[in-house]
Structure 1
Amino acid sequence: MPNRKIVRNLSRLSGKSLKETLESSHEVLEIDSDDWLTSPDLSEDGLPFSTENFYETAVFLMANPNITSSHLFRADILFDSQGLLKTPQQDEELAGTFGGCATEIPETPVKAKPAAQVTGFDLVRTVIRKLIPRNQNIDRPLVQTCHFYKSKTSSSRDDEDHSNDDQPSERQRVLTMFLPHIESQDDVPFYHPQLRGLATLYDVQSSQEGVKSGTMSVHFLPFSSDIPERLERTLHLLLNFYVRLTRGAKGTTTNEITGKTSSSKDNLVPRHLAQNTYARLKNIYAADLCENWAESTEPSKHVYEDLAITAFLIELWRMMYGVAPAKENPNGENTTAKFPGFVDMACGNGVLVYVLLMEGYSGCGFDARRRKSWSVYPDWVQERLTEKILIPKPFADITEAGDIGVNITTGDFPRDTFIISNHADELTVWTPLIAALACPESPLPFLAIPCCSHALSGSRYRYPLPKGTKPKTTTGAAEKPDQHTEQNPQPASGDLKALRAAKQAEKTESGMWTSMYGLLTKKTITVAEEAGYQVEKTLLRIPSTRNMGVIGGRQLVSEQWKQLGTSSAPTVAEDQTKQAPRVVQNVMDIVERECSREGGIQASAQIWIERARGLQKDRGKATNPADDAQILE
């Protein structure tokens, strides 16, 4: 279980094994079954949370089991009695998939396990979920019924244990009960505790002054009297995690409708589609790519990250163009033949290009330097990977690059090409501008995943806060916008506690926009909007802290292809052709404004070209792309 920071008071534990301290749950829970067990060691008292805090945490963890188990991808919701959590099919409908492509197969209706009768409690909600493991070649999915109970409000004077209290207090309780759909212990997968049922109770007393004192406890239905050490450890960690997460979430809000804390996660591509495709790609390509890795970097991180981005793109294009890999179509129809093509700018190791080509999507990639890993791919894939430097058209039009030792492109990509800018550093803010100039009458759609911050000249640059905003926190490393700063500045004060708090704040959706990475992302979005794009952002499920995706043109392209079908590329309307000069002028105004801080377009173009020449002079000095900050990754 991740995040094992202990927040419980360990001094209150007996020090004995769980088997020695077991007792019936009937003392605190009158359930119509006497088989439920608990232990004084599986409870934590003196907690200040409300029942609402606990209930929100319980629903959130129920919808996101991957938080407590690294073996799980997610939970697919099959039924929610309150209709708040969406099923995979409902998510697809909201996302607008089309084109008759293979999507999630509708689930066979599953009947909920009967809810136990619990004295003093009302059943308020029932959810049926399917646990989806990361590796379905080893573990199988498991269906669970999740019952939620709430007690009737009572006064402590109504309870025998509190009959001598001078002041009455209000007592509230919330109970969750998870019941796996299994016939025997042999049916329990590795990632699930060896139990017939698991329950968590939160019992809180509130005084007239509003002071809360709550007790959280774990209860379970074992298969036998034998309590394995692994099960004991799991139950202790589960209680600790509930306490820790409820404490951390106190005072914050969770979107109960989606089971998410971030509105930017899974907002464009349904989670189950991206993860299912990722699992398929990983099963096909990951082992060979890692085994034949030719770079000096550790392979798994790069391979898994690029496979996750590839999965996202496949599902994004499924929605935009109505196309899917031939391997997903039982009749062998290759709908990717209708795909207009992609270009991966600064493609680095080429994994993304390789997998997309193997999946049937036409396209190419280029980078400032040929990578060792390119030679591992089939010859026909290597032909689609070229060593090339991009000099943006506004720079190329006013300067002479001369011979810099490598081929040059100005970004004149074919109409309807989808542009990928994955951690492309110097090209990040340029991405929407290049996409617009490539086809002003119908600007190209794009996905930009920002990483390191650079100005249009290619120089390192920290963008200032947008006008009208103020930073909420500081790490002691504040600097003027024009200073060339480190991508991850260290605090001047040496206060590690303050630094950690600031770093944690940067990870939140609101706090991110005050970090260097957040400001770069915000700048990319602003520039794209100024260039005429309808921009969307989404948090990608990739193993990287630089995981914000900026998408431009998705909605317009989707509508065009839906209206046309998938028989051919959409035509450009007359009014779009007329707007082309305005698009070009908007882009040039942006370039002129952004380059003014470095002496204008001419000076910025010269800086860009000199940096390009420097890339070629340093060829071979850095085998690890991360060792050379100038490489376009």
Structure 2
Amino acid sequence: MKLPFYYPKVKAYSFVYSTKISEGGEASENYTISPETEEGYLKLEIIPLDLNEPATKDSKMQYALKSIFHKLFKWCIQQKIGYKKKANHDVLVPKETYQYMYQYMKAKYGAKLIADWTEKTDPKKFVYEDLAIATYLICLWKEEEIKTQRKQSFVDLGCGNGLLTYLLVNEGYNGYGIDLADRKIWSKLCGGHKGMLRVDTLYPSKATFPNTEWLIGNHADELVPWIPIIASKSGESCKFLVIPCCFYALDGTRSLSLPLSESIGKYRAYTNYVKDIAHKVGYICEEDYLRIPSTKNIALIGRVKQSNLQHTPVENDFSKALQVASQTFVPRKTDRQKEEERQETSKKPKLENRSLN
């Protein structure tokens, strides 16, 4: 039997807990700890695959066994202090499916992308984060492909460095990315895929993508709250996955007032805001925590429409707010535009001084 890579290579292992230990540290019937001390002896027992070969001889094996032992110890401490897990991973995609796919993607693309990185940003952070997001999408889409009998199509809105688009296209998915400005690395990533990465300024109230099955918003800034809306206008079969990031409102500004409390932080409040928009435009919005090196790691997924959407006064108010936001929306300035404006501003006092002289 082929074991997953993260399993220790043993026939069986078990944890043994005892409140009876000897002074030397071994389990014994002669030395009993009082239950009031809440102490005990925890032991990891294994049956190796090869009885003639010591199972703990290999360094990787030692690491795996120490890791699972440490994990159990953490669970015991968390149970004792009453800790409750806040983030629930692997809600929509099975863990083992994801782990296998991630190892495949990492081995296929990781080292080369890092070696060829042309941006000023940290390649390890961006490469492995986008590998993880691409892996998640591919696992999610494989479930859809069972129904459709074909690979999914997509548009990556606010695609940034274009890496996520590149990974999905190279895995056989039909799609492209759009952003306000190109990046140095685009020419290297595009290769033979002409039109894979495109420069365009989107006005979301007018944007639609008919015949596209998925809209992606990976930290897409001011487009994030609009993506469920654009998806709803793009056809009955259009779905979306969005990872909320900076707290932009529908008008493209960051002047959004969020309901905060001791139990709800700003990121969770903003995520709820985007989920509420998705609900109002007809989606049953699911969520999952992604395994990425970012604190903003909640993925919101709209792949199922509500069967009987009722038009309530709240939704009428939303329609009015949406109409106002559509008229006032201003696209975000690119870093390049900001730098040009900064340089122009810094030149003005010098020009004024020269004219005075």
TM-score tier by shorter-chain length is 0.7 to 0.9
Q: Which residue of 2 aligns with 1:425?
A: 221
1: CA distance between counterparts of 2:105 and 2:199?
Answer: 26
How far did 1:444 drift?
1.7
Q: Which residue of 2 aligns with 1:618?
A: 337
How far did 1:527 drift?
1.1
Identical columns (%)? 30
Q: Is the 8 A contact 1:462 1:519 kept in 2?
A: no
1: CA distance between counterparts of 2:299 and 2:63?
Answer: 40
Q: Secondary structure at the match of 1:527?
A: helix
Deviations 1:579-618 (A, max 9, x none): 89x89x99775252367xxxx34xx633x33x45x44971
Write the mapping of 1:170-249 to structure 2, written as runs, cut at 5 A.
175-183=42-50, 184-185=53-54, 188-193=57-62, 246-249=76-79
Q: Which residue of 2 aligns with 1:471?
A: 261
Higher helix share: 2
The one of 230, 234, 238 equivalent to 1:444 is 238
Q: Which residue of 2 aligns with 1:143?
A: 10
Q: Which residue of 1 aligns with 2:80?
A: 250
Matched, 1:351 2:141: no
Bigger Rg, which one: 1
1: CA distance between counterparts of 2:78 and 2:141?
Answer: 37
2: CA distance between counterparts of 1:169 and 1:520?
Answer: 46
The one of 139, 143, 154 equivalent to 1:342 is 154
Matched, 1:132 2:5: yes
Q: Secondary structure at the match of 2:155?
A: strand
2: CA distance between counterparts of 1:161 and 1:424?
Answer: 62
For residue 104 of structure 2, what is the amino acid of its counterpart?
R
The one of 126, 136, 139 equivalent to 1:315 is 139
Q: Is the 8 A contact 2:10 2:55 kept in 1?
A: no
Q: What's the TM-score once normalised by structure 1's chain length?
A: 0.46
The one of 163, 173, 189 equivalent to 1:377 is 189
Q: Which residue of 1 aligns with 2:348?
A: none
How far did 1:244 drift?
6.0
Q: What's the TM-score once normalised by structure 2's chain length?
A: 0.77
Deviations 1:321-345 (A, max 9, x none): 2289xxxxxxxxxx6xx23410000
Q: Secondary structure at the match of 1:428?
A: helix
For residue 94 of structure 2, what is the amino acid of its counterpart?
P
Q: Which residue of 2 aligns with 1:590?
A: 318
Q: Give me the CA root mean square deviation.
A: 3.9
2: CA distance between counterparts of 1:459 and 1:556?
Answer: 28
How far did 1:246 drift?
3.5
Write the mapping of 1:474-623 to structure 2, written as runs, cut at 5 A.
511=263, 514-553=264-303, 555=304, 589-593=317-321, 600-601=324-325, 605-606=327-328, 608-609=329-330, 611-612=331-332, 614-615=333-334, 618=337, 621=340
For residue 297 of structure 1, what is the amino acid of its counterpart?
T
Q: Secondary structure at the match of 1:544?
A: coil
Q: Is the 8 A contact 2:182 2:198 kept in 1?
A: yes
Q: Secondary structure at the match of 2:193?
A: helix
In the superposition, relative to structure 1, how do residues 323 and 621 fare at CA in structure 2: closer, same or farther (>3 Å)?
Answer: farther
Gaps of at least 5 residues in structure 2 are: 21-28, 342-357
In the superposition, relative to structure 1, how do residues 443 and 463 fare at CA in structure 2: closer, same or farther (>3 Å)?
Answer: farther
For residue 112 of structure 2, what is the amino acid of its counterpart?
D
How far did 1:518 drift?
1.2
Q: Which residue of 2 aligns with 1:455?
A: 249
Matched, 1:364 2:176: yes
Report the count of equivalent residues. Answer: 329
Q: Secondary structure at the match of 2:119?
A: coil
Q: Is the 8 A contact 1:344 1:364 kept in 2?
A: yes
